[in-house]
Amino acid sequence: MSTIAWIDVALRGARPQAMGALLRHFRDLDLAEEAFQEACLRALKSWPKNGPPRDTVAWLVLVGRNAALDGVRRRKREHELPGEEGVSDLSDAEGPLVEQLDEADYRDDLLRLLFMCCHPELPATQQIALALRIVCGLTVPEIARAFLVTDVAMEQRITRAKKLVAAERIPLETPGAPERAERLSAVAAVLYLLFNEGYSATGGSAHVRVPLCDEAIRLARLLLRLFPGEPEMHGLTALMLLQHSRSRARLDAQGAIVLLEDQDRGLWERDRIAEALALLDKALRHGRPGPYQVQAAIAALHARAPRFGDTDWAEIEQLYAALERLQPSPVVSLNRAVAVAKVRGPAAALAMLDALAKDLPGYFYFFGVRGALLADLGRPDEAREAFDRALAVAKSPAEAAHIRMQIDRLTRKKEAAG
Amino acid sequence: MLYAILCYDREDVVESWTPEQDAAVIAKLDVVTDRLAREGRLGPVARLMPTTTATTLRKGKETVVLDGPFAETKEQLLGFFIVECASLEQAIATAKDLGQASSTSGSYEIRPLRLLRPEPPRS
């Protein structure tokens, strides 16, 4: 690995916090980005010679601030640009400056930066794109590839989104506790969107989207370090880690969906699972349950089962019931019905589905689950009808292929019986 | 004398490594630890989970359990090596060898051990 590659990684790692601090300083997104870019250029010059600084974030913030000042001076033609040695490294004498940038500032800076990206007038995909560009520092072509659009289209989207958030006056004062909690929950929602954008991809597009999942987890861990007492942040991070731990097993070589029951659990990443379980244990100690914690607890029960047959469906049903109370939605109820089918049989689950039908029109999974339950109940004609409806609303080739496989199975069963 | 070599580094940077970059560092560390193992000087080696999984018990009149790692420093404890060294000089030299694995700016804390279980393997 070349020195430049290591520096590149260090710059990426430091970017979210450094950008947050620079935004507070300049109160302007473009100026903050420009300053960060300049600091990165100087890092590439200085670090190979002098070695990386002890505190990369502080170095980038201070050098970025100075460089931007230089830029202003240069434009005013008042001063010559100082020599490179002036910004080469933070010596111990500059220690007190570093101390000014303590963790308390960083955490609100980063939160503010992420919160800006969650502007309510931006569609969800633009919130994510903006966060990837500004906070994570992904290039426009990288983001365009992840969203399967052209570079030009993505550039336009990000420019528009930036304009919109730039017009908003950014409140720079330290937020109070309720406001901070509100921001955190908005930011958590965007991180989960970002993760799902990467996770829901299938087939040929799946591999280019893995970075979205990685970035979401990286930011979640960063927030978790800055806000260690937030059980829902623990829950969210655990949830993403648990889902991500299955990514190698959930698609087959052709990119088709592999159901949980058919997945090779040997492919699940045990490191991610272990980390998630540790986070979840920490979260539950607080006794302040929330939707992310409950969803993580459900995913954890799957992760803990050595085989599909060992899954604790009774506990999963309880957790979905808890989730229904915390965050009522027909999709959650549909998931509870799947657990009910395992615990009390398909007939009980089908009765639940009948009650949900009007709330989930045109929902792929609804018809998929309904078809599977009817097939289990030995009602193949009605099952076929449900699968056909699922096919009609399938959003991806992988979804359609999965339903066709179910129909094939149904047909074979019928032939064997007939 | 037994020494623990404690590895400190910026967790956000290490978490930004790709799996390949991570594996490259581990491979370089393995070169050093393999040699130590051949010399019969290597005890347990551990890589710790991220500090986000840490819980701190603060002792006092009443114990307090806190989320997060101990110490408010800019760096995080990411692992430790337990190495048999004839002297502090040798421990420093060994830590320097390990430090070659990456060009990040982390630190190794070197501290003599009073007790270790299991005893380090002897060749």
Distance CA B90, CA A402 (A): 61
Q: Does B102 touch chain A (CB under 8 A)?
A: yes
What torsion, rounded to 10 degrees, do the Cα atoms A359, A365, A371, A377 define?
Answer: -80
Tokens at residue A164, please?
């919109």
pLDDT band at B121 (very low <50, low <70, confident <90, very high): low
Residues A367/A387, Cβ–Cβ less than 8 Å: yes
Provide the greatest CA pair distance for chain B: 47
Distance CA A389, CA A361 (A): 10
Distance CA A126, CA A119 (A): 9
What torsion, rounded to 10 degrees, do the Cα atoms A395, A396, A398, A399 define?
Answer: 0
Enumerate the residues of chain A whose CB falls inside 8 A of the CB of residue B53: 275, 278-279, 282
List, for residues A328-385, the tens digit of each pLDDT value: 999 999 999 999 999 999 999 999 999 999 999 889 999 999 999 999 999 999 999 9
Residue A286 CB partners (closer than 8 Å, separation 6+):
A229, A231
What pLDDT, on the 0 to 100 scale, is given for residue A292?
Answer: 97
List, for residues B42-84, the tens digit of each pLDDT value: 888 888 788 888 777 666 566 667 776 655 456 677 777 878 8
**Average pLDDT over chain A, rounded to whole?**
86
Which helix (H) or strand (E) segment holds residue A411: the answer is helix A397-417
**What average pLDDT score do residues B14-42 get?**
90
User: Does residue A239 register a pLDDT over 90?
Assistant: yes
**Which class in CATH covers the domain with range B2-112?**
alpha beta
**What average pLDDT score do residues A211-217 get?**
88
Q: For B67, phi and psi rounded to 5 degrees?
A: -75, 145
Which helix (H) or strand (E) segment holds residue B107: the answer is strand B107-112
Strand partners, A318: none
Distance CA A398, CA A55 (A): 46
What pLDDT, on the 0 to 100 scale, is given for residue A79?
Answer: 45
What pLDDT, on the 0 to 100 scale, is given for residue B118?
Answer: 42
Residues A309/A260, Cβ–Cβ less than 8 Å: no
User: Does residue A13 register a pLDDT over 60?
Assistant: yes
Which helix (H) or strand (E) segment holds residue B42: the answer is strand B42-47
List, for residues A34-45, the tens digit of each pLDDT value: 999 999 999 999
User: Does residue B91 register a pLDDT over 60?
Assistant: yes
| A271: closest CA of chain B, how far (Å) | 9
What pLDDT, on the 0 to 100 scale, is given for residue A93?
Answer: 40
A378: left (phi over 0), alpha (psi -120 to 50) or beta: left
pLDDT band at B85 (very low <50, low <70, confident <90, very high): confident
Is there a contact between A225 and B51 if contact means CB atoms under 8 Å apart?
yes
What pLDDT, on the 0 to 100 scale, is given for residue A266?
Answer: 96
> What's the start-to-end Cα distance of chain A, in Å?
64
Half-sphere exposure for A205 (CA within 13 Å, toward CB): 18
What pLDDT, on the 0 to 100 scale, is given for residue A391?
Answer: 93
**Shortest CB distance from A10 goes to which of B24, B65, B104?**
B104
DSSP A61-101: HHHHHHHHHHHHHHHHTSSPPPPGGGGS---GGGHHHHHHS
**Average pLDDT over chain B, rounded to whole?**
75
Kindly list the residues of chain A whose beta carbon comes within 8 Å of any beta carbon in chain B.
Answer: 1, 3, 5-6, 9-10, 12-14, 16-17, 51-56, 58, 103, 218, 221-222, 224-225, 228-229, 234, 237, 274-275, 278-279, 282, 285
Among residues B84, B95, B3, B80, which one has the least CA distance to residue B41? B84
Count contacts between A and B (CB, < 8 Å). Answer: 76
**Strand pairing report for B64-67 and B55-58:** antiparallel
A15-29, A91-105, B59-73, B78-92: segment of lowest average pLDDT: A91-105
Interface test with A, best of B18, B48, B67, B70 (most A CBs within 10 A): B67
A154-158, A319-323, A392-396: segment of lowest average pLDDT: A392-396
**What average pLDDT score do residues A394-409 get?**
86
Distances (CA, A) of A13 to A8, B17, B27, B40: 9, 9, 22, 37
Tokens at residue A347, please?
């007939």
For residue A264, the tally of other CB atoms under 10 A from its CB is 10
Distance CA A67, CA A296 (A): 44
A258-272, A301-315, B81-95: segment of lowest average pLDDT: B81-95
Q: Does B89 touch chain A (CB under 8 A)?
A: no
| Residue bearing the bigger pLDDT, A347 or A144 | A347
Residues A18/A60, Cβ–Cβ less than 8 Å: yes
What torsion, rounded to 10 degrees, do the Cα atoms A339, A193, A294, A17 define?
Answer: 160
Residues B40/B122, Cβ–Cβ less than 8 Å: yes
pLDDT band at A88 (very low <50, low <70, confident <90, very high): very low
What pLDDT, on the 0 to 100 scale, is given for residue A83?
Answer: 47
User: Does residue B102 register a pLDDT over 80?
Assistant: no
pLDDT band at A243 (very low <50, low <70, confident <90, very high): very high
What pLDDT, on the 0 to 100 scale, is given for residue B111?
Answer: 63
| Residue bearing the bigger pLDDT, A387 or B101 | A387
* SS3 label, residue B103: coil
pLDDT band at A170 (very low <50, low <70, confident <90, very high): low
What pLDDT, on the 0 to 100 scale, is given for residue B72?
Answer: 47
Is there a contact between B16 and A51 if contact means CB atoms under 8 Å apart?
no
